[in-house]
Amino acid sequence: MSLPTLIPREVLFGNPERAMPRLSPDGGRMGYLAPDSGVLNVWLRTVGQEDDRVITHDRKSGIRTFFWSEDGRYVLYMQDRDGDENWHLYSVDFESGVIRDLSPFEGVRVDDVFTDRNHPGEILIAMNLRDRQISDLYRVDLATGAVRPEAENPGNYVGWLTDHEFRVRGATAAQPDGGFALLVSKQPEAEFEPILRWGPEDKGAALGFTPDGRGLYVEDSLNSDTTQLYTLDLATGEKKVLSHREDVDVGSVMFHPTEHYVQAVAHNLHRLEWTILDASIAPDFEKLGQVREGEISLVSRNKADTTWLVAFTSDREPVRYYAYDRETQTAAYLFSNRPDLENFTLAPMTPVTIPSRDGLQLHSYLTLPAGGVTKQLPLVLNVHGGPWARDGWGYDAEAQWLANRGYAVLQVNFRGSTGFGKAFMNAGNREWGAKMHDDLLDAVAWAVGQGIADPKRTCIYGGSYGGYAALAGAAFTPDVFCCAVSIVGPSNIITLIQSVPPYWQPLMHTFRVRVGDIETEKEFLESRSPLFKADQIRIPMLIAQGANDPRVKQAESEQIVAALRAKGKHVEYLLYPDEGHGFSRPENRMAFYAAAEEFLARHLGGRTEPGAEQEKKLLESLRK
């Protein structure tokens, strides 16, 4: 087997060189993320010049996303403390350099931010200041930082809706049966009234008001298995379907930046596909399709809509960003997020459809090592988190890392994954550790049956729900896997639910439908919890946990580690004191992947890159 050059972990998992470009509303400036002192911060550049300068000064986890105020005076970004997910919203006045915490309240979390082009000096933020379980809406003056209440949550609102005059005109309310209701004021200043009702089996959301303010854009599955995008006339109740496919849900929806009408809709069965609804942008997408291979995403545009910033995503290349001039229909290359990747051979990610034992179609992705050998490979089953999420095609750092080390990598959209219709999602209800796990086993059996995977060298690996799946694989089906890696994985569904953060409470009705009821089904949930089958675990395990994780508490990892060690079983356990639900700090990421790489090589036989001394020292402090 001739594998390509070893890709350094720093190239795969270190900070991107530059990423996430965003145009100011007037198009005169561009912000982007780039390292400063080894930590991702926001940088600013005047378009057409090379006056790049850093305007934020985070020194811990780094900034992950940012956006512009409507007047272009401020850059806004969210940050928590060591992974606690109590997100604060900050503004940066790029002229004065002043950074202001717009939500300076201890233990409070900003859930959502609303901006409006006609109200450039203010924003609306949803935060749980009054009651930690629910988020009220507050209006914030960007110049002064003054915060005043705007709308109070009666106790079950989980989202807010504003109109084009920046008035609060609706809310999504959680219902006792696990469904949701959409409440809207049909006229400004009128009382909210129920407009739509989605049961726990359905998916639905209001995406905003139509340009005339008389209707709503809605995406839901009320009249079909997969979601439809339609307009709803508030006066007559008339619905007009704009986009629908029988095989996959609606994905991203592209709106005009100032006129608020839908221009394009994306669907993603195996790969991203755009349907153009606004003929005026069809020539732009045609031209962009000629720039280079890859999936096209519009990441930013100025208000005049003359300049687009576009990302091209491929499975075997870094993300590449271009500035597209709509008037001349020309694209100018800006940068790639990881130019060092261009020096290495990456492996193709292939969409595959795997049948489950009861007839479902599991849309999945297979990444095989570049180099020619495709049979009897060690396999890593990389299970996505959520579980109400999905895997997709494109550059995936973990898939490339594992394939480069010599492993076949299989990523499965098991039942309960989103995007494939409500029947597929609801097939995962109450199936943690059962039929959801069977789907994973069927995928492994498929890979073995195809001759791809060596059945004696298969590892189950994942984070969050994927971490639970890794624990379940080790506890419930220890003969299928030879090792397991669990990152922030729940081991006991009962204690997981009992310890959720307070702001999850309005969503717990849905959790009871999807997972089970801890009040009435203790025995059932224990049967689906790996902790209670820990005595059956006999394969090597690597468990990693963030001490500040608000979703999967430290106890979830520690109780199963203790149970294993009480039985005299070896388990490698890494505890990160300054992390939450995943590893944000660059040095922590590098240390984890160094440990995971060595663990996998020991049990699957793949390649390793020697660990750096600083990684080794950090790992010694993390091992518990």
* Catalytic residue flag (residue 581): yes
Q: Which of 185, 549, 557, 584 is catalytic?
A: 549
What's the confidence (pLDDT) of residue 261?
Answer: 97
SS in 3 state form for 33-59?
EEEECCEEEEEEEECCCCCCEECCCCC
- Residue 139, token pair as written in the block: 């209006």
Q: CA nearest 285: which of 326, 345, 323? A: 326
Alpha-carbon distances, residue 178 vs 128, 327, 473 (angstroms): 22, 49, 29
Q: CA nearest 268: which of 420, 492, 91, 49? A: 420
- Residue 411, token pair as written in the block: 């990523």
Q: Which of 464, 529, 557, 584 is catalytic?
A: 464
The HSE-up count of residue 408 (CA atoms within 13 Å, CB side) is 25
**Does pTM top 0.75 for this prediction?**
yes
Domains and CATH numbers, the chain: 342-622 (3.40.50.1820)
What's the confidence (pLDDT) of residue 17?
Answer: 97
What's the confidence (pLDDT) of residue 114?
Answer: 97
What's the confidence (pLDDT) of residue 1?
Answer: 57
What are the 10-residue block averages of pLDDT along the chain, 624 residues in total?
89 97 97 96 94 95 95 96 96 93 96 94 97 97 97 97 96 96 93 96 97 97 97 96 98 96 98 98 98 96 97 97 97 97 97 98 98 91 97 98 98 98 98 98 98 98 98 97 98 96 93 95 97 96 97 97 94 97 95 97 95 85 90
* Catalytic residue flag (residue 557): no
Q: How, if at all, do strands 349-355 and 330-336 pair?
A: unpaired
Query: Do residues 188 and 213 touch, judged by C-beta distance below 8 A?
Result: no
Q: Which of 486, 581, 584, 603 is catalytic?
A: 581
Query: Do residues 324 and 300 touch, judged by C-beta distance below 8 A?
Result: no
Query: Do residues 79 and 88 touch, judged by C-beta distance below 8 A?
Result: yes
Alpha helices in 362-421 (DSSP H): 397-404
H/E element holding 615? helix 613-622
Instruction: Give Cβ neighbours of residue 520 (< 8 Å, ≥ 6 apart).
Output: none
* Catalytic residue flag (residue 244): no
